[in-house]
Structure 1
Amino acid sequence: MVFLPQEVIANKRDGRVLSADEIATFIAGFGSGSVSHAQAAAFAMAVYFRDMSMPERVALTLAMRDSGTVLDWSDLDGPVADKHSTGGVGDNVSLMLAPILAAIGIYVPMISGRGLGHTGGTLDKFDAIPGYTTSPDNALFRQVVKSAGCAIIGQTADLAPADKTLYSIRDVTGTVESIALITASILSKKLAAGLGALVLDVKTGSGAFMPTLEKSRDLAQSLVEVANGAGLKTGALITDMNEPLATAAGNGLEVRNAVDFLTGRHQDARLKEVTLSLCAVVAEMTGVATSPEAGRGMVEDALNSGRATERFARMVAALGGPADFVENMDAHLQPAPIVRDVFATEQGVIAEIDTRGVGMAVVALGGGRATPTDAIDHRVGFDRLLGLGALVDASMPIARIHARDEASAADAESRVKSAYRLGEHAPANPLIADRIAPTN
């Protein structure tokens, strides 16, 4: 029978459940040319309004995975795992998580993305390191994973290419927020990476794409059910993004924060708890640890002993960065021309933070993209960001700006002041709001 894309679109438009074969053939049409961009857009809109059942979401995810290469790590002598965050501000967890897991014998081939909207991108952070290549060929990628235990790079052209097509269409058709499409987009790339286990860090709060706990839980549940249904052992933590996770926000500043964390010079408490909790989940899921408690002990030892720092340094050097990056970070990370404090306007307790507003202030400084082709200034952003509950007055900085010129510094100061609201007390937001275990 001749395949007609419009029939699949009409079936979903009318609320029917699509078969796995219908979905697979439709997605394969992206590559063969039998499905036009207009038809892909119509399909996305139909899914947005009619949603998809869990079996449909699994089928869509697998079809997008199979649109390109699926990596095979069976030659490695240990488990292979990764982490995905739904995006936040001051979220540099990946920079520590990958080498910590590598130090306990878990291989981490981490395929990351760039900044999206107000959220920072892991690849943009690594671009702050001179010489580091985020787009190595497959041979170098495999070599670094094997030798360092981890490699953090960008999505290759042949990895889930259908996702690139559908994502670009969703971005301009108002269908980004569909949980079914978000689920398939995230998981198709992770499944194509050939993982044995995955932990998800689903954010909730003012700096998250899903601002309410209910919506964050819906997304986390969808991701966990679909990933496990597709054969990838996956669990999730729902973590707080009502304030920046680290005290730094901005690419080079978050790299500096991560190196300070690994070496023990400075470790933000909230950042440490989320990072080690995610690592412990992976340790248990892969069987490297017998329990979350045992996993927590293993990852704390990997961090405190310096073994994780050594793995990070080895990965950076193997991917073209400076061999002495950890030891001589100041010589390699460029400072911003203007560095100055932002002060509170009155006395009070930091009662609320518009975390998205802080992220957009980083974008306005030049640390993110207003359009896809914008160049990023890796020097700019904030550090010494205060969190909820801090007592401040007009003589106490709530943040320190790193800017490239006076105009952007003044704009950033106005933005960050607007993002902080003072009051008498701060809410007690749970750092880890929920945990969702693998379903198989």
Structure 2
Amino acid sequence: MSKQGFVIAGTNSGCGKTTITIGLMHLLKKKGYNVAPFKVGPDFIDPRFHEKVVGTPSYNLESYFMDDKTLKHLFYKHAAKADIAIAEGVMGMYDGLGLEGIGSTYETAKKIEAPIVLIVGCKGLYQSVSAIVKGFMTLRPDNNIKGVILNHVSSDMLFQKYKEFIETECGIKCIGYVPPLKDMELKSRHLGLVQAEEVEALNEKVNQLSDILDKTINSATLLDIAKIEVKDSETFEIPFKKHELKGLNLAVAYDKAFSFYYRDNLELLEELGAKLQYFSPLTDVKLPENSNAIYFGGGYPEVFADQLSANTQLLQQIKTAADNNRPIFAECGGLMYLTKEIINTDGTKNNMVGIFNCATEMTDRLKRFGYAECELNGTKTKCHEFHKSTLSEDAQNIQHQYKLSKPLSKIKWECGLQYKNVLAGYAHIHFWSNFDFTKQIFDLWKRAII
């Protein structure tokens, strides 16, 4: 069925993709459109901004993690529920893994057959802006760029000049522009943007932003180029029984310290019969009643280490649960939380759960960053790591379970700590990447219902 939709690409990181994306999402929502938001790549933070603005879940489109059939299935499945699908790109449009740019915005847009709107920052540019646009259009002839939005343009008069340059030299539509927005810039911290929940007066800022875009963006032109074909996704089959996880009451850590979850992971658990019970390691003094297994995603436990450490009653309950064989699966920030302490770069220490008697030591630079392949018991899946911490080597109860390797290189390492029915590692796993690998995680949790 025909739908409206497009992918927002950028010339580079920092060109304004996220700000413009959430502004356009909000603008179209105000105009009465039901928006389906997406994020290209493994990012966890941008989707939360989408969700805050639109009020519906935002999903990751990951062409490195998934084969083409799975990627299209998930995109079509979610896009079919809305009037228009809007996907925010990652880094620069062609930036990805290797010469082919695997996982790039360009590759993803091509696979889901969606038009691209290119964001171009115009600071310090005049006629040269057309050279940048032409370069992006000619690097790959099948780029599917259908329009351009210009950022950091100080006046409509200047925009008209840019528009003349680009449309004359490149033969592509200039959809509009965005003026400098100093008061609306999204702040960053060491692993990316500050989370949506932490931005003061976010709703007010987004309202102001969409009001501005309503005046500077030609919505009619944007909607005219936003054409996608949503195909039937019902024939896709997954290798799990319909009620595979019935009886699993899964306590899911979710607050400002732990919010890095792929939405498709959570929804798959529910589709298979699991009951998700959300709790906050920051404020809740006990695990959800009747929960029989636990899921810790990633996040920023180091930022909220004082508050996490002060919640001693919950820390002890989780430690006791692990000692009593309760199944626990944790990723990245969740792993850090399950160690005995987090040591920040200034030397301050905060006690954590202590399932693993090693410490998490924060560093001033990234220790692991980017795509990897993760092997567990001989089965491999694609994954992503992104952290500025490392584990001390003094643990007595650690067994490394993951064997990891970087694609396109010979770099290999081990991670994935196990204690009884607890499995935790730095790797972020997308459950749709390899169902054989995912089955091992589900089998771990299913020990709670056998």
Structure with bigger gyration radius: 2
Give yes or no for TM over 0.5. Answer: no
Give the number of the structure whose residues are more often helix, by fraction.
Answer: 1
TM-score class, shorter-chain normalisation, is 0.3 to 0.5
The structure, 1 or 2, with the larger RCO (C-alpha pairs under 8 Å, 6+ apart) is 1
After TM superposition, the score normalised by the length of structure 2 is 0.33
